[in-house]
């Protein structure tokens, strides 16, 4: 009996000693796993196995109705004919058409989020649609039908990610804040495009603005058949590239002739204007274009007439600069003043009177001599 109790005591003591002996070893291993100052040294070796940083996602997969205040908002989902009332906080598929109707009180605001920092704001009656995209496509497009919208997009948004389109023009590479006011009518439409901050590109038929900067504003008018387009600068200077048809160039080394496009760079400053007239030719059916530019005073600066895709039908520059330089104006003015002074000295009224009296005296003297 005593031997049994002694054996049990010996076993318990041995177990306790083993635990006390092993515990420091485990504690040491735990301490060596994250020693101070060694984690940074081992980090580069572990970087190869770490996943790469995810690309920034600018947009949601769907369009979110974020706010409806003082107006009614209706949504028509793609491939449906029914308009349903939009609900705050709800997501709608891309390709949906949106209709915002302002209330009688006048205070209207509707917000639609394409992403966390990409918001479309409507403060009046507006009609627009979102373009339906393929799965995995990153870009977004708004089709503006009527009214004014304001877009607030990230300033770091890459080119080609967001665009706004209307029947006769489109704005791409949007970043920052911008405003679009589009008003269709029976005989055409009128649009005001304003870049508040950031930048954008404007593209239309026979013209292109590669970059609009902050505070640039352009007004665009078009007829319903797109046979006439007018662009007027209202704020800032916008460099516009105008199409002037094709011209034929000859390589003097090889003698080969090629047709190359010709363009005109024009600065659309405030009150400057560009007018584009189009017509279908009776022979051949090609589009004939007359392109004109005007300065703030309304004077024509450039004019060119051409047929699309025909190098042999191109008038080239038709405006002849008849403006007289300021230096020539000063010379002409000085010459005119000098001629006036000479006339006053040689043939002024006083001299003419004295000459007439002298002539009468000589005639009288001749008569007296003849009588004698």
Reported confidence tier of residue 117, pLDDT bands at 50, 70, 90: very high
For residue 198, is pLDDT > 90? yes
For residue 276, is pLDDT > 90? yes
Range in 103-117, 138-152, 317-331 the model is least confident about: 317-331
Look at residues 133, 130, 118, 235 and name the one whose alpha carbon lies nearest to residue 174.
Answer: 118
- CA dist 189 and 59 (Å) reads 31
Q: What pLDDT sits at residue 113?
A: 98
| CA-based end-to-end distance of the chain | 199
Reported confidence tier of residue 73, pLDDT bands at 50, 70, 90: very high
Q: Strands 162-166 and 140-152, how do they pair? A: parallel
User: Hey, what's the torsion of the CAs at 250, 251, 255, 259, to 10 degrees?
Assistant: -40
Alpha-carbon distance values, 276 to 286, 293, 300 (Å) = 16, 9, 13
Reported confidence tier of residue 170, pLDDT bands at 50, 70, 90: very high
Region of residue 12 (phi > 0: left; psi between -120 and 50: alpha; otherwise: beta): alpha
Q: What pLDDT sits at residue 63?
A: 97
- CA dist 283 and 291 (Å) reads 21
- CA dist 246 and 1 (Å) reads 118
For residue 71, is pLDDT > 60? yes
89 within 8 A of 60, measured Cβ to Cβ: no
- CA dist 133 and 188 (Å) reads 29
The arithmetic mean of pLDDT across residues 191-209, rounded, is 96
- CA dist 253 and 270 (Å) reads 45
290 within 8 A of 276, measured Cβ to Cβ: yes
- CA dist 171 and 165 (Å) reads 6
Q: What pLDDT sits at residue 41?
A: 39
Instruction: Note the pLDDT tens digit of each residue in 231-247.
Output: 999 999 999 999 999 99
List of residues 6+ apart from 251 with CB closer than 8 A: 257, 258
Reported confidence tier of residue 16, pLDDT bands at 50, 70, 90: very low
DSSP string, 122-142: E-SSEEEEEPP--TT---EEE
The arithmetic mean of pLDDT across residues 209-216, rounded, is 94
Q: What pLDDT sits at residue 336?
A: 65
| DSSP helix, strand, coil percent of the chain (3-state; round to 5) | 25, 45, 35
- CA dist 183 and 180 (Å) reads 10
Q: Report which DSSP code applies to 340.
A: H
- CA dist 236 and 161 (Å) reads 25
97 within 8 A of 142, measured Cβ to Cβ: no
- CA dist 124 and 290 (Å) reads 37
The arithmetic mean of pLDDT across residues 36-50, rounded, is 42
For residue 146, is pLDDT > 80? yes
For residue 1, is pLDDT > 50? no
Q: What pLDDT sits at residue 201?
A: 97
- CA dist 90 and 100 (Å) reads 16
Q: Report which DSSP code applies to 157.
A: P
Q: What pLDDT sits at residue 329?
A: 60
Which comes out higher in pLDDT, residue 359 or 57? 57
Range in 171-180, 209-218, 296-305, 338-347 the model is least confident about: 338-347
Which comes out higher in pLDDT, residue 338 or 345? 338
309 within 8 A of 287, measured Cβ to Cβ: no
The arithmetic mean of pLDDT across residues 45-68, rounded, is 74
Reported confidence tier of residue 136, pLDDT bands at 50, 70, 90: confident
Instruction: For each of the domains in the chain, give its residue range(s) and CATH number, in order of start.
Output: 63-257+266-272 (2.60.120.1440)
88 within 8 A of 94, measured Cβ to Cβ: no
Average pLDDT, the chain: 81
The arithmetic mean of pLDDT across residues 330-337, rounded, is 65
Reported confidence tier of residue 338, pLDDT bands at 50, 70, 90: low
Share of the chain above pLDDT 90, in %: 61
268 within 8 A of 274, measured Cβ to Cβ: yes
For residue 288, is pLDDT > 70? yes
For residue 251, is pLDDT > 70? yes
Reported confidence tier of residue 172, pLDDT bands at 50, 70, 90: very high
- CA dist 246 and 307 (Å) reads 8
Instruction: Note the pLDDT tens digit of each residue in 309-321.
Output: 999 899 999 986 6
Range in 46-50, 119-123, 296-300, 320-324 the model is least confident about: 46-50
List of residues 6+ apart from 262 with CB closer than 8 A: 244, 245, 246, 247, 314
Which comes out higher in pLDDT, residue 165 or 18? 165
Longest dimension (CA), the chain: 199
Share of the chain above pLDDT 70, in %: 71
């Amino acid at each position: 009996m005593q031997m049994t109790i002694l054996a049990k005591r010996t076993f318990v003591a041995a177990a306790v000693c083993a635990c006390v002996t092993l515990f420091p070893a485990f504690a040491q291993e735990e301490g060596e796993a994250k020693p101070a100052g060694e984690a940074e040294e081992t980090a580069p070796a572990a970087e190869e196995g770490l996943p790469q940083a995810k690309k920034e996602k600018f947009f949601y997969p769907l369009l979110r109705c974020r706010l409806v205040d003082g107006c009614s908002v209706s949504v028509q989902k793609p491939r449906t004919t029914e308009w349903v009332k939009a609900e705050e906080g709800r997501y709608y598929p891309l390709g949906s058409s949106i209709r915002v109707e302002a209330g009688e009180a006048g205070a209207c605001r509707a917000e639609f989020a394409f992403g966390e920092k990409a918001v479309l704001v409507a403060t009046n009656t507006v009609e627009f649609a979102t373009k339906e995209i393929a799965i995995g496509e990153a870009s977004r497009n708004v089709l503006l039908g009527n009214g004014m919208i304001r877009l607030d997009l990230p300033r770091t948004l890459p080119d080609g990610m967001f665009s706004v389109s209307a029947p006769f023009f489109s704005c791409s590479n949007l970043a920052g804040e911008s405003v679009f006011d589009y008003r269709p009518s029976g005989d055409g439409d009128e649009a005001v495009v304003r870049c508040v901050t950031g930048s954008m590109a404007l593209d239309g038929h026979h013209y292109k603005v590669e970059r609009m900067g902050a505070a640039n504003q352009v007004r665009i008018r078009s007829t319903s058949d797109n046979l006439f387009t007018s662009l007027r600068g209202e704020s800032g200077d916008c460099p516009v590239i105008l199409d002037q048809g094709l011209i034929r160039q000859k390589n003097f080394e090889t003698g080969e002739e090629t047709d190359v496009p010709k363009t005109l760079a024009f600065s659309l400053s405030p009150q400057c204007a560009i007018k584009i007239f189009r017509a279908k030719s009776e022979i051949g059916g090609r589009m004939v274009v007359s392109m004109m530019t005007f300065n703030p005073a309304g004077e024509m600066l450039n004019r060119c007439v051409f047929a699309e895709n025909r190098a042999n039908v191109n008038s080239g520059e038709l405006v002849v600069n008849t403006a007289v330089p300021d230096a020539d104006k000063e010379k002409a003015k000085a010459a005119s003043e000098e001629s006036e002074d000479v006339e006053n000295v040689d043939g002024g009224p006083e001299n003419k009177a004295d000459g007439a009296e002298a002539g009468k005296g000589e005639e009288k003297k001749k008569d007296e001599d003849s009588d004698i």
